[in-house]
């Protein structure tokens, strides 16, 4: 290659190389929430069978629904309010068609808005501490007629 050809080549090649590598230099957005959500679900599912106890929020004492959700998220370093209503009012609402693992699903089970909460897993399933009657933390299906009838909405912890 002669000198003039080299200069033309460098003038044409250099911008292309800069453009090519500048795209590689950008840092992709990292979303740690996916990892955290996986940990949330894994831990929540590990608590299946823990007794239901109104007003309690530990594996040793048992859980009510909001105590269960608060405990699971606290283990991931996320602080949530203690009551179902306060959780619902403090978290952003999410459209039902945008629900993700780890989102909170809310229900009206006693005539009062936001009287029950669970943690969405996937495929219309959620884990929760339903009631004294069921007696323990378990997985339920949103398509179940009871839960479908009492469903209010979804909120996403930050």
Q: Could you give the residue numbers annotated as active site?
A: 65, 116, 128
Pairing of strands 116-122, 104-107: antiparallel
- How far does the chain reach from its first CA to its final CA, in angstroms? 59
Question: Which has the closest alpha carbon to 37: 93, 81, 76?
Answer: 76
| Cβ–Cβ < 8 Å for 79, 73 | yes
């Amino acid at each position: 290659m002669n000198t003039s050809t080299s200069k033309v080549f460098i003038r044409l090649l250099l911008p292309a190389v800069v453009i090519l590598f500048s795209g590689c230099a950008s840092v992709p957005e990292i979303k740690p929430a996916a990892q955290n959500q996986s940990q949330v679900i894994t831990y929540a599912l590990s608590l299946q069978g823990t007794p239901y106890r109104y007003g309690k929020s530990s594996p040793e004492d048992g859980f009510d629904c909001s105590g269960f959700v608060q405990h699971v998220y606290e283990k991931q370093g996320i602080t949530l309010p203690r009551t179902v209503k306060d959780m619902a009012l403090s978290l952003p609402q999410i459209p039902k068609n945008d629900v993700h693992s780890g989102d909170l699903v809310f229900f009206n089970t006693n005539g009062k808005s936001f009287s029950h909460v669970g943690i969405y897993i996937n495929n219309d399933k959620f884990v929760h501490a339903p009631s004294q009657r069921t007696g323990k933390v378990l997985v339920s299906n949103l398509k179940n007629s009871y839960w479908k009838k009492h469903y209010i909405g979804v909120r996403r912890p930050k």
